[in-house]
Structure 1
Amino acid sequence: MSQIFKSCDNRMRCAWCAATDEYIHYHDTEWGYPVSNDIKLFEKLCLEGFQSGLSWRTILSKRDNFRKAFDGFDFNKIALFSEENVKRLLTDQGIVRHRGKIEATINNAKRAKEMVDEFGSIAAYIWRYEPDANSLDAPQTASTSEESIAISKDLKKRGWKFVGPTTVYAFMQAMGLINDHAEGCEFREKAFELRKNFKKPK
């Protein structure tokens, strides 16, 4: 099965974009490009957790609702959420109403604050795990990696929830720690260029 497809604008993209037009915009403008913004990194970890057992299409279509419900994924604010906030979120039809995942997001916000205290930023912590490009499997052939397993294990040790190795690997793909755009995808080179010019957080 081909990893790429030609869309209606005659551009070659990763085949998973064919599922919905929403994927095309996300793929072209976000997926696989390196991120150092802590709010965006925290948001993506949380949304990948919410995706567990669901499709990314479901989460992407609700992303704006999630942002509104969780104060723009500002972990300093979410860390202060109470049981009243949990009850509010459980009645919010615009998000995935799963108590465990909602409570995990609040818990993870507290852990994120601890991480910033220790490392200076979430980005500084995450980018320590950037894999050597020469060690990577062919694009889109893996669902976990040595690094995603290591991050997952360490995050769980630190008290984070819903951060299994597969969830973390999807996070790494999306946040540009690896360039997993398929061979032949027109946006693979853009990802390489952005990574080349990216200043790794310290």
Structure 2
Amino acid sequence: MSYCSAIENMQPESRKELHKKYHDNHYGFPIHDDNELFGRLIMEINQAGLSWETILKKEENFRNAYSSFNIKKVAAYTEEDRERLLNDSGIIRNKLKVNAAIENAKTIIELQKEFGSFEKWLEHHHPKTLPEWMKLFKKTFKFTGGEIVNEFLMSIGFLKGAHSENCLVYQTILKHEPMWKKV
């Protein structure tokens, strides 16, 4: 079942609306801001083992806890910041996920130095198959298993599959020139 049809079958209405907002305005749309790309990576990493609904409900908490996903600020986090995050009940308090966010911010800064931006690093490696992307992410980042990489890349328009072709949002996304279309 696609994410598109899953939303239609949800109950109650508040759950459906939460997912619909993400589906209609974010999922599969290209992101051109490195901090927002980093934020989406944090969200996908934190979703591992949990429902996407849990993450969507905590999105603002994540944004606040991780300095509005500012890569430079997160890369400079200290041990005190790690402890603050591990004690923040508004986010997922998993040491591996918290450490991954901080270490991945440091990695992205290095990628920005070499390629100009995180987005340009992604573009430099496009196109790749999912297994190739998975291998690259595993080599480059922390806590990025296959499902995380797949969802991250679909959610930012690098891999096809975020929406079925009969989904109304699919046509809107095509107007934004997702990377999968540029193959």
Displacement of 1:33: 1.1
Instruction: Pick one of 67, 73, 79 that aligns with 1:77.
Output: 73
Q: Confirm whether residue 184 of structure 1 aligns to residue 157 of structure 2.
A: no
What number of residue pairs does the alignment pair up?
173
Q: What stretches of structure 1 move > 6 A for 4+ residues in a row?
A: none
Alpha carbons 1:129, 1:147 under 8 Å: kept: no
Higher helix content, 1 or 2: 2
Q: Confirm whether residue 28 of structure 1 aligns to residue 24 of structure 2.
A: yes
TM-align CA RMSD: 2.0
Displacement of 1:147: 2.8
The one-letter code of the counterpart of 2:17 is D
Alpha carbons 2:158, 2:178 under 8 Å: kept: no
Q: List runs of 5+ in structure 2 lacking aligned partners.
A: 11-15
The one-letter code of the counterpart of 1:118 is E
Alpha carbons 1:152, 1:164 under 8 Å: kept: yes
Q: Confirm whether residue 15 of structure 1 aligns to residue 5 of structure 2.
A: yes
Displacement of 1:110: 0.6
TM-score normalised to the size of structure 1?
A: 0.79
Question: Which residue in the other structure is 1:64 paired with?
Answer: 60
Residues 118-138 of structure 1: CA deviation (Å, up to 9, x unaligned): 11100001123444xxxxxxx
Question: Which residue in the other structure is 2:13 paired with?
Answer: none
Please show how residues 1-202 of structure 1 align to structure 2 within 5 Å: 3=2, 14-18=4-8, 19=10, 20-131=16-127, 147-158=129-140, 160-180=141-161, 181-195=163-177
Displacement of 1:115: 0.7
Alpha carbons 1:23, 1:57 under 8 Å: kept: yes
Alpha carbons 2:137, 2:144 under 8 Å: kept: yes
Alpha carbons 1:65, 1:95 under 8 Å: kept: yes
Residues in 1 aligned to 2:45 and 2:38: alpha-carbon distance in whole angstroms: 11
Displacement of 1:86: 1.1
Displacement of 1:184: 1.2
Displacement of 1:173: 1.0
Alpha carbons 1:179, 1:191 under 8 Å: kept: no
Residues 156-201 of structure 1: CA deviation (Å, up to 9, x unaligned): 323x21111221110111101134211211111111111179xx8x
The one-letter code of the counterpart of 2:144 is V
Residues in 2 aligned to 1:196 and 1:127: alpha-carbon distance in whole angstroms: 11
Alpha carbons 1:130, 1:178 under 8 Å: kept: no
Q: 1:24 to 1:195 in 2, by over 3 A?
A: same
Displacement of 1:21: 1.4
Residues in 2 aligned to 1:172 and 1:185: alpha-carbon distance in whole angstroms: 19
Q: 1:129 to 1:148 in 2, by over 3 A?
A: farther
Alpha carbons 2:30, 2:157 under 8 Å: kept: yes
